[in-house]
Structure 1
Amino acid sequence: MTDPHPPVLAVSTVIFALRPDIESGFMTLWLPLVRRTRDPYLGLWALPGGWLPPEEELSAAAASTLRETTGLSPKYLEQLYTFGDLSRSPGSRVVSIVYWALVQSTEADLAAVDENVQWFPADRLPELAFDHNRIVEYALWRLRTKVEYSRIAHAFLGETFTLAQLRDVHEAVLRRALDPANFRRMIESSGTVVDTGLRLAGVPHRPPRLYRYNDSHSLAEQGPLGSTVGWPETPLQSTLHYPRSTT
């Protein structure tokens, strides 16, 4: 028997950036949210999202949504989880394929911000629409688990960086201090960074070494699937559309 009310598919994205905490001044995780402009949950904040077009690949739809809502084109985009509880959307069955993305602070500063798009500290969110608080909690758990065994932290940094800057990223994500010597040994033995032979300019005393990513290690672990299908290679277009958010 054909279901008279089949599930509707949507795509949403959790975008993390490191920005200074307003209260402490230390770097913490932030994410952009969009304000709901229609029912259900009119006026509440939600993750950037949209309905899944039938002609578009999943990752391409996630990328399009990010450009339209925030103006961001992250280098790191990975599928997080699929959320489809029966009670997550009033009046209909909506299944959301959720992606997560990481951006550098300089990229985050260029994001579109207005009365319907704002940045919030990831650990101090208001009540969000649908089950988006739960989605963010899961994304935070995934990020904090993964940062300890992969090169994902590099997505927050520029082309070159010091080990102290890399340690700062780990400490901000994990919310705890790390021993500098142990951290250096762990990173140097991992093979994920390469010494450029250069040193950071404009600092007193002995300037620290600059490192770069090891290009043989992928940021997003795609396994046998290869690179993300449908991820745009063109730069961000200047024209942005009105913010949208589904579930």
Structure 2
Amino acid sequence: MPSAHPPVAVTVDLVVLTVRDEDLQVLLVRRGEEPHLGRWALPGGFLRPDEDLDQAAARELREETGLDVARVHLEQLGSWGAPDRDPRMRTVTVAHLALAPDLPAPTAGTDAADAQWRVVADVLAEDDLAFDHGAILAAGLERARAKLEYTPLAAAFCPADFTISELRRVYEVVWGTRLDPRNFHRKVTGAAGFVVETGATTTRDGGRPARLFRAGDARTLHPPLLR
């Protein structure tokens, strides 16, 4: 009987990661309404009757932050559905992971009182996000770290044309470790389809002109770049 099944709401939450000021940062919004009024949280909201999950994630990204989904890599991260995760009602959330190059300051909207980029390590250390968003953020961080090993996703943190040094810095920031420049260069250029030379150079890294690359057409890295 339908009455034997209490209503369940579906939401989407977004783990938006970028590299800013030499740190891996996450986009947070300060909640402008109950529950958890005034606390920091991941951007997100309820699924509407006329949209699928990816559409809801793209809409929430625009509404709560002013960011366009066309500028980010967006994928489903996982689902969380503990009975008491939301005091309003039984709620299941489908979290999404979004990765992008250095993004501008976000603009809060709808039910968000503020929106800021925060250093991921600091946020996880404070462990004070609303709902179960700390666990979702930790899962998003581990997904990003793992995908950098086996896929060319690190290029999603870079501009369209980038140097190997800039790409290496993405790995160092996301993994939280220093990498040997020569060994990294050899591995990246040796992974089939990972990067493609553009034929141009730049001096934005300082020093001698550095070759510029763009992302290749590889979907997975062979061999992988293991931590």
Question: Same fold per TM (> 0.5)?
Answer: yes
Aligned to 1:17: 18
Residue 4 of structure 1: how far off its partner (Å): 5.0
Relative to 1, partners in 2 of residues 1:131 and 1:202: Cα closer, same or farther, differing over 3 Å? closer
- What whole-Å deviation, never above 9, does each CA across 1:156-206 have from its counterpart, x for those lacking one? 111111101100110011110001111111111212100112211467653
Aligned to 1:187: 188
Aligned to 1:78: 75
Segment drifting more, 1-10 vs 110-119: 110-119
Aligned to 2:223: none
Aligned to 1:173: 174
Map 1:134-153 onto structure 2 (within 5 A): 134-153=135-154
- Cα root mean square deviation, aligned: 1.9
Q: Distance in 2 between matches of 1:161 and 1:62?
A: 28
Amino acid at match of 1:174: W
> Is 1:212 matched up with 2:193?
no
Gaps of 5+ in 2: 221-227
> Is 1:49 matched up with 2:44?
yes
> Is 1:122 matched up with 2:125?
no
Higher RCO structure (Cα 8 Å, ≥6 apart): 1
Q: Distance in 2 between matches of 1:93 and 1:205?
A: 57
Query: Whose helix proportion is higher, 1 or 2?
Result: 2
Q: Distance in 2 between matches of 1:4 and 1:175?
A: 45
- What whole-Å deviation, never above 9, does each CA across 1:203-245 have from its counterpart, x for those lacking one? 765311111111x2359xxxxxxxxxxxxxxxxxxxxxxxxxx
Identity, % of aligned positions: 40
Residue 124 of structure 1 aligns to a residue whose secondary structure is helix
Gaps of 5+ in 1: 21-26, 220-247
Relative to 1, partners in 2 of residues 1:150 and 1:207: Cα closer, same or farther, differing over 3 Å? same
Contact 2:172–2:179 (8 Å) recurs in 1 = yes
Residue 16 of structure 1: how far off its partner (Å): 0.5
What TM-score, normalized to structure 2?
Answer: 0.86
Amino acid at match of 1:170: Y
> Is 1:37 matched up with 2:32?
yes
Relative to 1, partners in 2 of residues 1:50 and 1:203: Cα closer, same or farther, differing over 3 Å? closer
Aligned length: 210
- What whole-Å deviation, never above 9, does each CA across 1:90-143 have from its counterpart, x for those lacking one? 2411000110101211xx225226952122111111411100011001111111
Segment drifting more, 201-210 vs 11-20: 201-210
Contact 2:106–2:116 (8 Å) recurs in 1 = no
Contact 2:17–2:98 (8 Å) recurs in 1 = yes
Relative to 1, partners in 2 of residues 1:13 and 1:195: Cα closer, same or farther, differing over 3 Å? same
Q: Distance in 2 between matches of 1:147 and 1:60?
A: 25
Map 1:53-68 onto structure 2 (within 5 A): 53-68=48-63
Relative to 1, partners in 2 of residues 1:218 and 1:203: Cα closer, same or farther, differing over 3 Å? closer
Q: Distance in 2 between matches of 1:44 and 1:31?
A: 15
Amino acid at match of 2:49: P
Give the ranges of 4+ consecutive aligned residues of structure 1 lying more than 2 Å apart after TM superposition: 201-206, 216-219
